[in-house]
Amino acid sequence: MSLLAGHRANRAFAPSSNIAQLRESATIAVSARAKALRAAGRPVIDLGAGEPDFDTPEFIRRAAQRAIDAGATRYTATEGILPLREAIARRATEMGGDVAPAHVVVSTGSKQSLFNACFCLFGEGDEVLIPTPSWTSYYEMVALARATPVPVYGDAAAGLKVTPSMLEAAATDRTRGVMLNSPCNPTGAVYTRDELAALIECADERGWWVISDEIYRAISYGNTPATSALEVAPSAERLVLVDGVAKAYAMTGWRIGWTIAPRELASAMTALQSHTTSNAAAPSQHAALAALTNREAADASISAMVAEFRRRRDAVVAVVQGEPDLEIVEPEGAFYLFARVGEDDPSRDDGARFARRLLEEHEVAIVPGSAFLTPGWVRMSYAAPIDDVIEGTRRLVRLWRETRA
Ligand code: GLU
């Protein structure tokens, strides 16, 4: 009997209550499906993955190779090597924080950092406000911590962004925190300095924790980089900043993220991580150290990548501008186009139907908006070669016309 057949026949497994409600990550699932179709010979254009298509810059790769040869092959401190935490703290202090290495915990990707923060801060009976649409994993991480994710829907006329009064309207006496993300995945919207300051002030006044996911901060087409919570927060007493090297330095596979948080919370997250993954991979930490300390080379590669993302963003916008009735969020950062293709009615799930047809009939992979709790929309990533991006956008527009005919 094959292993697979044995697996199918296994009736012993029933999901535990921890994961009974868990949904698989739709962003990961779409890119896995696109890869599988390509491997099977279908010429699929993959605009699903939120992953830079550039190689990690050479100076970073070389630093990792040197570190491996010098013996960076063993466990490190759970919270990360000191030089990396020092470099992160230095950068954060330059942005206006008063940050010491003791505030920094390095993890296996900003996804783990977000999970650590949610798991250490929230629990049963707590509610967490999530400006919506938001990245699919926020909702699941809050729920895995047994807290309740509370979607706060943004205004479509304002880039689907939220305001303090929207947060207040969704708050109860059980509200414990709010997740912020600017530039935003999936919309590409960027909160202005004043908008971000107002949200953080609102949270501060009410004693909520703010988890600010700034993984796309360097990829911003207006004021580069976008404003950090550290620059505008009246106090860092209830602030967790999450960042990493994946997006700005094209280092998704190296899996390095971090949190900057008050000491006591940093200690709790370190303790949690000591029982799950321990330290992030040692060679990857040295690669991240090179990325953060070799300023000139890093700035040059970030500028080149952001310039290329901007070129693609402009190309996408030029294609969709020919369709004034196609509603989109003005993409100001990150590398996503968010477009409305139907109604925000979960029972119709127009976005999923659209994404399925785009893949099956037009061979373009995108992510349905239901992954971000906005089922009338779809997310297209333009972190792909520009010809693919332009062709993919044209096919998206063609299908949109067909669905309206
Ligand atoms: N953050 C990226 C995305 O939204 C990577 C995939 C994931 O980890 O969800 O596509």
Domain at 244, CATH number: 3.40.640.10
* Position 384 in a domain: yes
Same domain, 85 and 231: yes
Q: Is 12 part of any domain? A: no
pLDDT, position 7:
53
Determine if residue 2 is left, alpha or beta; phi over 0 gives left, psi from -120 to 50 gives alpha, anything else beta. Answer: beta
Q: Residue 405 has what pLDDT? A: 80
> What pTM was estimated for this model as a whole?
0.95
Nearest to 276 by CA among 73, 78, 19, 20: 78
Question: Is 246 a residue whose pLDDT tops 50?
Answer: yes
Q: Are residues 244 and 384 in the same domain?
A: no
Residue 2's pLDDT is: 45
Which residues lie with the beta carbon below 6 Å from any ligand 1 atom? 25, 27-28, 49-51, 111, 135, 137, 185
Both 304 and 286 in one domain: the answer is no
Pairing of strands 239-244, 364-365: unpaired
Nearest-CA residue for ligand 1 atom 4 is 50
Which of 261, 293, 325 represents a domain boundary (last residue)? Answer: 293
Domain membership flag for residue 341:
yes
What is the domain count for the chain? 2
pLDDT of residue 18: 92
At residue 326, the 3 state secondary structure works out as coil
> Which atom of ligand 1 is closest in space to residue 135's alpha carbon?
4
330 shares its domain with 236 = no
How far apart, in whole angstroms, are the C-alpha atoms of residue 70 and residue 379? 43
> 368-401 pLDDT, tens per residue?
999 999 999 999 999 999 999 999 999 999 999 9
- Same domain? For 306 and 380 the reply is yes
pLDDT tens per residue across span 302-346: 999 999 999 999 999 999 999 989 999 999 999 999 999 999 998
Domain boundary among 240, 273, 293: 293
Task: Among 293, 327, 362, identify where a domain stops.
Answer: 293
**Co-location of 389 and 271 in the same domain:** no
Work out the pLDDT band at 224, boundaries 50, 70, 90: confident
Instruction: Say whether both 239 and 117 belong to one domain.
Output: yes
Regarding whether 128 and 43 lie in a shared domain, the answer is no
Element (H, E) at 378: strand 377-381
111 Cα nearest atom in ligand 1: 8
Beta bridge partners of residue 379, listed in sequence order: 338, 367
3-class secondary structure, 211: strand
pLDDT digits (tens, 9 = 90+) for 17-67: 999 899 999 888 888 899 999 999 999 999 998 999 999 999 999 999 999
pLDDT of 215 strictly over 90: yes
Predicted pLDDT of residue 1: 39
Q: Which domain holds residue 219?
A: 75-293
241 with 100, same domain: the answer is yes
- Spatial separation of the C-alpha atoms in residues 359 and 342, rounded to whole Å: 17
Q: With pLDDT > 90 as the criterion, what percentage of the chain qualifies?
A: 89
Instruction: Please check whether residue 65 lies inside any domain of the structure.
Output: no
| Top mutation candidate among 25, 27, 187 for ligand 1, by most atoms within 8 Å of CB | 27
Give yes or no: residues 271 and 183 share one domain.
yes
- Whether 3 shows a pLDDT value over 60: the answer reads no
Nearest CA to 197 among 188, 210, 185? 210
